[in-house]
Amino acid sequence: MGGPEVDRLISLLAKLPGLGPRSARRAALRMLLAPEARMLPLAVALAEAARSVRPCGVCGNLDSRDPCSICADPERDASIVCVVEGVGDLWALERAHVHRGTYHVLGGTLSALAGTRPEDLNVAPLLARVGQGEVAEVILALGATVDGASTAHWLADRLRPLGVAISRVGQGVPVGGALDVLDDGTLAAALRGRRPA
Amino acid sequence: MVVFGPNGSGKTNLLEAVSLLVPGRGLRGARMAELSRFGGTDWAVAARFSANGEALDIGTGTAPEGGSDRRVFRLDGAAPRSQAEIGARVAAVWLTPQMDRLFQEGASGRRRFLDRLVFALEPTHARIVAAHDVAVAGRNRLLSEGQADPAWLAGLEDSIARHAVAATAARVGLVTRLNAASMEGATGGFPPARVGLVCPIADRLASAPALQVEDWLREALAAVRPTDAGTTSLGAHRADMTLEDAENALPAALASTGQQKALLIGVVLAHALLIARARGFAPLLLLDEPAVHLDAGRRAALFRALENIPAQVLLTGTDAETFLPLCDVAEGLEAGGGMLRLDARFMPPGPMSDAPEGLY
């Protein structure tokens, strides 16, 4: 179409999540029409991020600093650790400004069918952190899927002997949602997770 | 609507296409790759439903971009948030000649039949059963590999327990209401059937609260780990459905092929009325060759019941003559050569039809 360089660019873009071949072609064309403004700054940003961003040695977050800017922030309450499946979940919680403690990124959930086993998860640094006695509470913020729920169950079992408070994120009535449209499973979870008003 | 024509004229294909308009794998339980024409990869089905004066367009098929192994839905032209949104608007129940062997074969076919009846009442049941089965498959895998982490197993057993109790409660609810509807004459004169559930979880739910049954199941699953090598001996996947003649208590497993067929028809007729009452719309009834194996008396009773049922019914058969008793209430379509032709002996097409005359 536009030579091997353009084909390669499109095929690399098309491998990114959320982009198919059609949207990759549109993105490539938009960049090629103004390479100075849209392409070279992107290339520089890509190279810099690839060179400097690494998983944080403490929590597993992606950052150009290690420990990451969340772990290094003195304003953060390091005694409350929120465990998430991936960095995307950490970003979601940060966007919502709902957690002022620190994080731990597991890097996946246990899945017997997909072959993800305990040794494939980033768990040792969390157990070490909790074992040092500086953590008072671990919040398990994993998804409400079969794998998320069984991972939370398994992790709670590993954390319990360390004497730390363990909590799980609530499940149930969504903010702004009505009860009569919820399915039975969600309603049961909401009732099970009720709290004093 | 009656569709007739010789063997291989595409009658069952038509019913299968309609069955795919609701979430699930349709009438044959076929995989995506088996649904397109020979030599092709893409397929699509679209239909307009009309209920209470409102029109609803539903379409499904292979994704326009992204390969033929991904199926997408359209609800009034737009992508629905989830398949449950489709399930909330339409439901379908079917009987096929393969189900004539439902009581000679394993329990899984009977469970699927029962679950389809439950989906029509509670669309979220499909998701609960799927999550349950994922947890069971995971537990089986861990047990068969040996040296499984006990806490991981306990996590999966917790999921099995929660979903098994929810799925069983939904099945019990359906069976209770269905039997009550049958006793109230919901089958419109057709011999009613009584559905039963063989399931230890259901037995416990009859006398204990759900959360207590979950605790029992969690503990029972942990206790059977040593003997459950690669299998899970307790759960919603071990339930079985029984069926008996409500009048003489003859169990389906001992009944003749024709009697069994009549019992299944009795169930779907009562179910159609139950869903119509509970949800305000009746499920589509897809009856593939329903008249086969039925004696003249039962056939006449079936046709009388279908005349009064609130559901839209699609019936197939090889001969138009079989269905002539329905000619005042049903459209007749002859299948053949990849087309459907209106048969003038039957009712003219309804107001929704804007197809060219004589050809669908």
Could you tell me what percent of chain A has a pLDDT over 70? 98
**CB-based contact A159:B165 (threshold 8 Å):** no
Q: Taking 60 as the threshold, does the pLDDT of residue B75 lie above it?
A: yes
Query: Between the CA of residue B31 and those of A188, B27, B68, B281, B319, what are the distances in Å?
Result: 33, 11, 11, 29, 30
Provide, as residue numbers in chain A, all residues whose Cβ is less than 8 Å from the Cβ of B139: 112
Work out the burial of residue A45: count CB atoms within 10 Å of its CB; fewer than 13 is exposed, 13-18 middle, 19 or more buried. exposed
Query: HSE-up of A189 (CA within 13 Å, CB side)?
Result: 18
| pLDDT on residue B65 | 65
- Are residues B159 and A110, on separate chains, in Cβ contact within 8 Å? no
Cross-chain CB nearest to B151 (options A111, A154, A188): A154
CATH 3.40.1360.10 fits A62-196, yes or no: yes
Give the confidence band of A39 by pLDDT, cuts at 50, 70, 90. very high
List chain A residues with CB under 8 Å of B142. 112
| B63/A contact by beta carbon, under 8 A | no
Contacts of A185 in chain B (CB under 8 A): 124, 127-128, 162-163, 166
End-to-end CA distance of chain A: 64
Please provide the distance, in angstroms rounded to a whole number, between the alpha carbons at the two ends of chain B. Answer: 13
Average of per-residue pLDDT across B192-215: 93
The single-letter code of the amino acid at B205 is L
Contact between A22 and B127 using a beta-carbon 8 Å cutoff = no
CB contact under 8 A, A112 and B142: yes
Using alpha carbons, list the distances in angstroms from residue B42 to A50, B15, B70.
Answer: 40, 18, 10
Q: Chain B partners of A20 at a C-beta cutoff of 8 Å?
A: 65-66
> Rounded to 5 degrees, what are φ and ψ at B236?
-70, -20
Long-range residue pairs from B201-204, CB within 8 A, at least 24 positions apart, any chain: B201/B164, B201/B165, B201/B168, B201/B234, B201/B235, B201/B236, B201/B239, B202/B168, B202/B171, B202/B172, B202/B239
Among A19, A111, A150, A191, pick the best mutation site for testing chain B contact (most B Cβ within 10 A): A150
Does the CB of B279 have a partner CB in chain A at under 8 Å? no
Task: Compute the Cα dihedral for B38, B39, B40, B41 and give only its sign.
Answer: positive
pLDDT of residue B51: 72
Structure tokens at A153: 């169950």
Within 82-141 of B, beta carbons closer than 8 Å to A belong to 84, 122, 124, 127-128, 131, 134-135, 137-139, 141
Q: What distance in Å separates the CA atoms of residue B41 and residue B70, rounded to the nearest whole number?
A: 11
pLDDT digits over B283-324, tens only?
A: 899 999 998 888 888 899 899 888 888 888 999 999 999 899
- Fold category of A4-52 in CATH: Helicase, Ruva Protein; domain 3 (1.10.8)
CATH top-level class of B107-256: mainly alpha
Q: How far apart are CA B319 and CA B15, in angstroms?
A: 17
Q: Does B155 touch chain A (CB under 8 A)?
A: yes
**Could you report the per-residue pLDDT of B5-36, keeping only the tens digit for each?**
999 888 988 999 999 998 888 888 888 777 88
| DSSP β-bridge partners for residue B72 | B61
Q: Is B142 on the interface with A (CB under 8 A)?
A: yes
Model confidence, pTM: 0.82
**pLDDT-based confidence at B359, cuts 50/70/90?**
very low
Per-domain boundaries in chain A:
4-52, 62-196
pLDDT bucket at B54, cuts 50 / 70 / 90: confident
Distance CA B120, CA B78 (A): 23
In a mutational test of the A interface, the residue from B125, B136, B160, B162 whose CB has the highest number of chain A CBs within 10 Å is B162
Q: Report residue A144's pLDDT band, with 50, 70 and 90 as the boundaries.
A: confident
State mean pLDDT over B169-180.
94
pLDDT bracket for residue B355 (50, 70, 90): very low
